[in-house]
Structures are given as structure tokens and as C-alpha cells.
Amino acid sequence: MAEDPEAAKPGEARYANYFSVGHTAFEVIIEFGQFYRGDQQPQTHTRIVTSPGYANRLLALLGDSLERYETSFGPIPKEETHE
């Protein structure tokens, strides 16, 4: 069987400084986008829909990663939010 050339490509990278999280009884929905001063609305570019169990695993992975980051580079300063 031939190897799928699309499977070897890395995923598209997009910058995000805006995040929105919601849920239903069965899913967690995470939206990523960009929002800058002067913008009327954030520009959402990616939506991830996953199960609560996988969202919980993502939370743990992000927490572990940020702990390692702060160990290497120091505390992360709090940034202004656009709420």
C-alpha cells in the first residue's frame, strides 16, 4: 500500500491571542483567533471540538508545559485581556 503524502505534512500553524471555550453535555468547544485593539470582533480561525476527557488531558498538558517554561524562563507576566 502506498504511503499517503498528506499524512507526512505538518499541520498549519496559526497565531492566536484570542480564545473562547464553551461546552455541551458531551463536547468541549475551543475557538482560537486574533483580536487587536480597535477591532470590533475577534477573527476566529480555528475551532476544536473534543470530549470532556480529552479537554481535561489538554488542560493537564498545558499546565505541565507552562510549569516547564517558567522553570526555564521565569514567571509568565499577566497580559491584558480583551473581555
Task: Give tens-digit pLDDT for 9-57.
Answer: 788 899 999 999 999 999 999 999 999 999 999 999 999 999 999 999 9
Is the pTM higher than 0.95? The answer reads: no
pLDDT at 53: 98
Q: Which residue has the higher pLDDT, 6 or 24?
A: 24
- Range 11-30 burial, b when 16+ CB lie within 10 A, else e: eeeeeeebeeeeeeeeebeb
The closest alpha carbon to 83, from 30, 29, 42, belongs to 42
**pLDDT at residue 82, as a whole number:** 53
Rg (CA), the chain: 16
